[in-house]
Amino acid sequence: MTLNSTGKTFIGSLIAQIIRDNSDESILCVCYTNHALDQFLEHMLKRGEKRLVRIGGRTKSEALKKYELKALSKKERSLSVSDADKRMRSVVAQMHQCKDEITELLQTLQLPLEWQHARDVLEDSNLAVNFEIIHHDGFAVVGRNNTKIDEDYLFSSWKRGEECPEWLQESLEVEGTDNLWLLLPAQRLERINEWKQLQSEEMNEMIQSARQRYEDLSAEKVDIGLEIDSYILEKARIIGATTTGAAKYRDLLSLKSASVVIVEEAGEVLEPHVLTALTENKENSEETKHLILIGDHLQLRPKLESYSLTKVSGNGFDFDISLFERLIHSGFDSAMLGVQHRMKPCIADLIRRQTYPSLQDHPSVASYPDVRGVPDNLLFIDHANFENGADDLATTKSNSFEAQLCVEIVRYLLLQGYAHSQVTILTPYVGQILTIVKEMRRSMNDVNTFVSELDQAELLRDDADIEDIELHAEKMGNKQIRCSSVDNYQGEECDIIVISLVRSNKYGGIGFLKEEQRVNVLLSRAKHGMFIVGNTATLRSSSKGNHVWKPLLDMFQSQGRIVKSFPTVCQLHPMDGTTYCRTVQEFRTHRPNGGCNRPCSARLECGHACPLMCHPTDQGHLITLKQCTEPCRRIPPRCPRNHPCNKLCREDCGECLVRVEDTRLPCGHLASSPTCDSVRDDSSRKKLSQRCREKVMHTFTACGHECETACANANSQLPICPKLCNTMLECGHPCQNKCKSCKEGNHSCKQKCERTLFCGHICGRECHGGDPCPPCDKKCSCSSCVEDCDWQCLHEGKCSLVCGAPCNRLPCNLRCDKLLACGHRCPSICGEDCPDVSFCIECCSTETKANIVDMLEFNSYEEQDLDNDPVIFLQCGHFYSTTTLDGIMEIDKSYEIDEEGNFVGLQVLSSSLGTSKPKSCPDCRSAINHVKRYGRLISFMRLRFLERKHMTSVEMRLRRYSLILRGEPDDAKVKRLIEILEQLESDVKDGPMRKVFEACRGREIVVTPPPSRPYLELLRLRAQCFTRLILESNDVNFNVAIDVYQQSIDYADADRSRYMSSVLRLDLCKLLMNWTALHQVKARVDHICNRVIEDDINAALVQEAIDLKEKCNDKELKEVLKAMNQVMGYNYGGGWSSHWYECPNGHPYFIGECGGAMELGRCNECGEQIGGGSHRLLASNRSSATVAEALQD
């Protein structure tokens, strides 16, 4: 039994050394945590033990890494090639073969039925004759362009529904032959499905067989691994493992049978975990002879996930009672260590009175230093600020006031000169850890907080946001404060401990603080000083925890160590007395730099007085010197006039910037008030002259212009003419570039486009000449109306489509027969809305009657024959004759018109209309909208405009997402990008065109579909995202990427987008080659590349396809070599490159032993004779340069 800080690890390692030195027994040391295990094994290393093994791979000790079981096993394999190692390599190679076989079968199942797989089924049913090629007198059958015709070609033609070739008909006319070429396409599809089903059944059996072999090999691999690891353990005297590792590797440990088991922290280990480390006497193992338990049952018990199974629940299960505690309470023989080496006596008095009355102090602890800047080493800071959510029943608690005070205490201690590793914050609740971390981030920007992985896991179980917390200990820098829960700090210590008890409420609830074991651990972690922040009233009023805290608080009270604020003392001026601080403001006001409010006034090396208040740290003022903000009194080193420097003391003097009298420059001009440094000598005056801005007249020889320019420009070697080009461009604007930049004809317009867009807005973009304006970037209507169209009249009927679709009825040329409110006949065309009374030809004003309405004959409104040519009123307020507006709107492009001018049918709307400039009013240039007569053209242009704007937005987003993907984002960002692209795909499909199509379903509408390029780019980007997430071949991301590529290729083929089809096919090839064994996909890659080469869309794409095929062949050769090495345990590279040869047709083969040819053979590829005799190679064979190059790579 070991009490707090009595040296249990030291005693444990000493016991292990005694047993080792006086017996041949092997020792197994089991610890609850990796930290404790590392400490024990490091002690054994210091005692000279080298034959030790650490099971598990989570050590943070550099000295122990080479003693991990995995590292030793790897080292053993590299030094010797044992029979077990050879079997392991063979098993791994066979597992790879099984995996490749399963992968190839699964890929084959996903592919359409090809001839190479259909042949076996057809031969069994005597149907293969339908696709047999009969060669006559050595002649081959070829098709168009000398294309080779074989069984695969015929089978593909049959699947496409083509007719039987004439030359094959004769062989199928034999009686009894089932002619498959006579089947209809639907019947052929049924046959293909039947054969595919037969193929699937056969391949499923093969997959199950390969899977079973893989599982058997996997089990054999585990057995061989145990054999190799047990060989390592046989040579070890000391074996270390955590309780988890001992249970996980029980089978391995049973082979070693360590006869002595030492369990550290036994009071914190569940009894079943101890039992798994023990062995009984069997055929291949020896029973445990000696069990040594080292621990303290008065500290924390083992952790259980279920509270109802613990002792404190009172349910009687008591599963958290360790074997150690049970044996102690049963009166089992035990020994106790009673001298502590950790705490100052005043801290040890707490647990001495509460838990260990016989605990003694080692003399060394009396000499521990006092905490600097604090009048006492042990304090309880009392407060009455309630915990957060004091009335709720949450399992984890927090207290913002305590978090703030603890952080300020830590800051104050750091200002006393303590290192960050010397101060730790402890709390019983993990929820308070997160509150403290956030407070420290807010108030101490230069200090981070370190939280252990165990506390991280606790926070995650509570669904806490731990984004700002460091995840791993190895990320700890020099400026990190440890913040930990009590449960996960057992066995550790620190010079100064700041404790936040958290619990503060009016009903006396203290939760975990009522457990003596937890309080014992909490109060026994500090070495030099301990400061507790809590509510004494809540602790005293607790009905369940009063017996724990009342004696402690009484002890604090009697010693005068309960205070309302944190007492501070200036180290440099202790006679000034004690200052109490409770809030952030008080700490920052009274102790701004850790000392008192007296000015430091020490003289710095620069000669200025220190500007800081009293500061215990940086007494040498090295940091303060670099921050001096006083004016510099030095003279710049290059100043000839001895001017004082006008910068701050901490800054480098540099150039003298004092202004001096006007100075004449070499160019003849006068420099007005130059800086001292710029005219200090002739050289600097010459440089200043080269920047002279005085204006002079100069004739430029390059262009012949004579104009005013800066002196420096006129005297330069290549003066630049400042005149503007002003050449009139095709767009009608003058060129605004400088003369020099346009002398070679590089004109460009920088004016803004003033065209009116379809939506009515001005373009406003940079002038783009005759190119159509891009979509509007202002807020305007981005959707089409899907209400029923209201254009109707008695003569031509009603439009049957929705308002946003191009109308499908004919216009009416008759005058409207409705009456206005004044009683006179409407002057507009039939089908249009009637105008206001103010436009009545009988009642309107003289000014209105004088308006020109016919732009051909220049007739006024008063002169217009309204019965034959009615007027149409525009939304802008202007009105014109129907004939005038019909010409402006080019109505003949929307409707078919006979010779007499009657509308007889609908014109197919051209895509070019959608990109043309919107039609506008001749008077005010406003876009013509909302005229039902022209609804067919207006709706079509609006649809094309909205679709173009929609697609432009999609393309811009795709470019932005593509740049994000090129920037090497992490997996979380890639997954988020996939979600965004899936939503964008839905947006692309639901564009303006689609909405109108769906609204008009069942009714005739002819509108050209939107461009497919953005949609294909989107699918390509999605596939690239999934490719980024691939970890291994055939994982879910790999398969999804393949599916997305195939989907995009099918879409491109259906849309006849041949360029994108080739690009996507090459992307798919790269994916297959990067993540799949080449022998599985080589045929597919060759097929895809050949398709790209045949399409011949782009020379660059064709060359890329050719390069991929060559790379595929090289990679295949390297994979063959790698496979040979794995299976045979043989090095086919390096010096063996001279053993490779080629047959007459260039196929490689290998000669073993010495590499000389001793026998003849046949090439597996072409059947040519290979080899030789008596170390002489056949004259038709040669050494393989291709393989030699591959081996060098």
Mean per-residue pLDDT for 475-499? 84
Could you give the C-alpha distances from 1017 to 692, 984, 994, 1085, 1099, in angstroms and in order?
54, 12, 19, 22, 21
| CA 404/CA 425 separation, integer angstroms | 12
| CA 144/CA 1175 separation, integer angstroms | 49
At residue 254, the pLDDT reads 78
Instruction: State the DSSP string of 949-1011.
Output: HHHHHHHHHHHHHHHHHHT---HHHHHHHHHHHHHHHHHHHTSHHHHHHHHTTTS----PPPP
Residue 858, phi-psi category: left (phi > 0), alpha (psi -120 to 50), beta (remainder): left
Contact (CB, 8 A) for 378 and 472? no
pLDDT bin (cut points 50, 70, 90) of residue 580 is: very high
Torsion of CA 720, 726, 729, 733, to 10 degrees: 130
The pLDDT > 90 percentage for the chain reads 17
pLDDT bin (cut points 50, 70, 90) of residue 926 is: confident
Q: 196, exposed or middle or buried, with CB in 10 Å at 0-12, 13-18, 19+?
A: middle
At residue 559, the pLDDT reads 94
Which three-class secondary structure state does DSSP give residue 1029? coil
User: Which of 281-285, 519-523, 694-698, 911-915 shows the lowest per-residue confidence on average (mean pLDDT)?
Assistant: 911-915
List all residues 6 or more positions away from 788 whose beta carbon is below 8 Å from its beta carbon.
Answer: 802, 803
Comparing 303 with 436, the larger pLDDT belongs to 436
| CA 392/CA 390 separation, integer angstroms | 6
At residue 195, the pLDDT reads 82
Which single residue is written with the structure tokens 């209400």? 787
Helix segments in 277-399, DSSP class H:
323-329, 345-354
Contact (CB, 8 A) for 1091 and 1065? yes
The phi and psi torsions of 485 (rounded to 5 degrees) equal: -80, 155
| CA 232/CA 2 separation, integer angstroms | 33
**625 pLDDT more than 80:** no
Mean per-residue pLDDT for 9-38? 87
Comparing 787 with 139, the larger pLDDT belongs to 787
At residue 296, the pLDDT reads 86
Residues β-bridged to residue 936: none
Mean per-residue pLDDT for 570-597? 91
Mean per-residue pLDDT for 894-900? 84
At residue 1129, the pLDDT reads 44
| CA 814/CA 610 separation, integer angstroms | 98
Provide the 8-state DSSP code for 620.
Answer: T
**403 pLDDT more than 80:** yes
Mean per-residue pLDDT for 20-46? 88
Instruction: Return the HEC string of 844-877.
Output: CCHHHHCCECCCCCCCECCCCCCCCCCEEECCCC
Q: 282, exposed or middle or buried, with CB in 10 Å at 0-12, 13-18, 19+?
A: exposed
| CA 943/CA 935 separation, integer angstroms | 12
At residue 5, the pLDDT reads 65
At residue 474, the pLDDT reads 39
Comparing 1192 with 513, the larger pLDDT belongs to 513
Contact (CB, 8 A) for 1143 and 1181? yes
User: Which of 367-371, 490-494, 815-819, 1116-1120 shows the lowest per-residue confidence on average (mean pLDDT)?
Assistant: 1116-1120
pLDDT bin (cut points 50, 70, 90) of residue 176 is: low
At residue 778, the pLDDT reads 62
Strands (E), 350-467: 360-361, 378-382, 423-427, 448-450
At residue 558, the pLDDT reads 94
Which single residue is written with the structure tokens 């046949």? 1162
**pLDDT, tens digit, for every residue of 1142-1190?**
888 777 887 877 778 888 888 877 788 888 888 888 888 888 766 656 5
| CA 774/CA 776 separation, integer angstroms | 7
Instruction: Classify strands 260-263 and 290-293 as parallel, antiparallel or unpaired.
Output: parallel
Which three-class secondary structure state does DSSP give residue 346? helix
At residue 1016, the pLDDT reads 83
Mean per-residue pLDDT for 222-244? 83
Instruction: State the DSSP string of 563-606.
Output: ESSEEEE-SS-GGG-EEEE-SHHHHHHH-TTSS-SSB--PBPTT
In this structure, what token pair is assigned to residue 1044?
A: 């997305």
pLDDT, averaged across the chain: 81
Which three-class secondary structure state does DSSP give residue 1022? helix
At residue 400, the pLDDT reads 94
In this structure, what token pair is assigned to residue 370?
A: 């006092």
For residues 1070-1094, one letter each, b for 16 or more C-beta atoms within 10 angstroms of the residue's C-beta and e for the rest, the string is: ebbbebbbbebbbeebbebbeebbe
pLDDT bin (cut points 50, 70, 90) of residue 472 is: very low
| CA 495/CA 482 separation, integer angstroms | 12
Amino acid at 953: S
Closest alpha carbon to 312 in 585, 513, 178: 513
Most trustworthy range by pLDDT among 528-537, 943-952, 1009-1018: 528-537
**1124 pLDDT more than 80:** no
pLDDT bin (cut points 50, 70, 90) of residue 1022 is: confident
pLDDT bin (cut points 50, 70, 90) of residue 914 is: low
Mean per-residue pLDDT for 1062-1088? 78
In this structure, what token pair is assigned to residue 490?
A: 């057992």
At residue 1127, the pLDDT reads 41
| CA 535/CA 12 separation, integer angstroms | 40
Could you give the C-alpha distances from 643 to 632, 634, 662, 1120, in angstroms and in order?
11, 9, 17, 80
| CA 945/CA 781 separation, integer angstroms | 11
pLDDT bin (cut points 50, 70, 90) of residue 706 is: confident
Which single residue is written with the structure tokens 């009233």? 537
User: Which of 116-120, 359-363, 834-838, 1092-1096 shows the lowest per-residue confidence on average (mean pLDDT)?
Assistant: 116-120
The phi and psi torsions of 756 (rounded to 5 degrees) equal: -90, 125
Closest alpha carbon to 387 in 255, 259, 535, 530: 535
**738 pLDDT more than 50:** yes
Which single residue is written with the structure tokens 């040391």? 29
At residue 782, the pLDDT reads 43
Chain-centroid distance, C-alpha 469: 19
Residue 300 CB coordination number (10 Å): 24
Q: What angle do CA 423, 429, 435 make, to 5 degrees?
A: 70
**139 pLDDT more than 70:** no
Chain-centroid distance, C-alpha 1006: 44
**pLDDT, tens digit, for every residue of 627-649?**
788 888 788 888 888 888 888 88
Mean per-residue pLDDT for 1-23? 80
**384 pLDDT more than 80:** yes
Mean per-residue pLDDT for 518-547? 93
Sign (positive/negative) of CA torsion 637, 641, 644, 646? negative
pLDDT bin (cut points 50, 70, 90) of residue 496 is: very high
| CA 306/CA 614 separation, integer angstroms | 54
Helix 935-966 to helix 992-999 angle (10° resolution) is 130
pLDDT bin (cut points 50, 70, 90) of residue 535 is: very high
Q: Which long-range contacts (CB under 8 A, 24 or more apart) does 1149-1153 make?
A: 1150/1124
In this structure, what token pair is assigned to residue 901?
A: 């001018």
Instruction: Classify strands 792-793 and 797-798 as parallel, antiparallel or unpaired.
Output: antiparallel
Amino acid at 701: T
Strands (E), 243-334: 260-263, 290-293
**1128 pLDDT more than 50:** no
**pLDDT, tens digit, for every residue of 280-302?**
766 656 788 899 999 888 888 88
Which single residue is written with the structure tokens 């987003």? 957
List all residues 6 or more positions away from 276 whose beta carbon is below 8 Å from its beta carbon.
Answer: 246, 247, 250
Comparing 1006 with 485, the larger pLDDT belongs to 485
pLDDT bin (cut points 50, 70, 90) of residue 578 is: very high
Length of the chain: 1193
At residue 564, the pLDDT reads 95
At residue 1135, the pLDDT reads 46
